[in-house]
Amino acid sequence: MFMLVNCSKCQTALQLPPGARSIRCALCQAITNIADPRAAPPPPQPSSISAGPRPPQPPAPSPYNHAPPGPPPSAHGRKKAVICGVSYKYSRHELKGCLNDAKCMRHLLMNKFQFPDASILMLTEEETDPYRIPTKQNMRMALYWLVQGCQPGDSLLFHYSGHGSRQRNHNGDEVDGYDETLCPLDFETQGMIVDDEINATIVRPLPQGVKLHAIIDACHSGTVLDLPFLCRMGRNGQYVWEDHRPRSGVWKGTSGGEAISFSGCDDDQTSADTSALSKITSTGAMTFCFIQAIERGQGTTYGSVLNSMRSAIRNVGGGDNLGGGVVTSLLTMLLTGGSVGGSGLRQEPQLTACQPFDVYTKPFSL
């Protein structure tokens, strides 16, 4: 059974393996030593103060809502992001576009939405720091870091580009009977990250005033954050909110904050990894179309973003110019790959949220 302890330097919640007496933080590299419960207590220190009842000790800080180290946040709130691109290089699962997705998303956040470089945690196979390789444990630690110390006014973002999957659900909390999953680099040996865990880690702890966005470019990703409501939108732009709250009554929303997710496709669909004809660059179709919507000025409301993404994916191969903009100029050579042809990609980006809202009046902002 794992035990949660706080890093002695940055206070990030760490999962201590059974029997371990120390652990290194994946984020700040500090080593936290754990006192051996079998060791004898230190002798009492002499004091001129007369003995009396000890004052009550403050409770241990929560891994989610205690203040982070450093200066207090500014009045307008902080911005933090975890960007994860998994290419599964040299394996039979290799994807070509995920690293580009991660780089382009980082560029977008810094240049369009003023995310500080220091507040963006990148997990890719190109990272030289072994704790920033997108393994299951490192991804878990990154998600803990994302919500740690969040306060009203903060804006958080989780972007994932890689393989997604699904597995049979056995506790009855899924409408379709399946749990959706993300596949870390080492998923074949360490297992996948299930939607229940993602929800418990970055959705349920969100307090009032904190905003979380997730951009998930993966197969079977429609409800991978397990958010209670899904926006079912038709091709004409009309929509209804589907209630995905489990029959068990377990709450999958937040603790007062706001959580909204754009995903690459519905739970029973797959997402395309689209390669360039020039073999120079490739990208996930969903990530590309999300960035394109923002840069073309179609990101005013959540409805306009979703419609723009869906329209672009339907029109892939139909001669539409996908280039333009500070980020998408990196990808102007992008054309449809392989079996896609001219009939568009067989995927429909989805929008899920912790609460229903009017998608055509609610302004989109990160």
d(CA 212, CA 366): 8
HSE-CB at 295 with a 13 A cutoff on CA atoms is 22
Query: Which single residue is written with the structure tokens 């999300």?
Result: 290
Contact 280, 334 (CB under 8 A): no
DSSP lists the bridge partners of residue 248 as none
Instruction: Please give the C-alpha separations between residue 18 and each of 23, 34, 131, in angstroms, as whole numbers.
Output: 11, 12, 20
Please give the positions annotated as active site: 163, 219
User: Residues 223, 180: contact at Cβ < 8 Å?
Assistant: yes
Of the candidates 160, 151, 313, the one whose C-alpha atom is nearest the C-alpha of residue 225 is: 160
| Residue 305 DSSP SS3 | helix
CA atoms within 13 A on the CB side of 67: 6
Nearest in space to 131 (alpha carbons), one of 261, 97, 140: 140
Tokens of 136: 């299951």
Q: What is the C-alpha separation between 194 and 318, in angstroms, rounded?
A: 36
- List the structure tokens of 17: 């393996």
Alpha carbon distance 288, 215 (integer Å): 11
Q: Is the CB of residue 305 less than 8 Å from the CB of residue 298?
A: yes
Q: Which of 132, 158, 301 is nearest to 221 (CA)?
A: 158
Q: Which residues of 98-130 are buried (b: 16+ CB within 10 A; e: fewer)?
A: bbbbbbbbbebbbebeebeeeebbbbbbeeeee
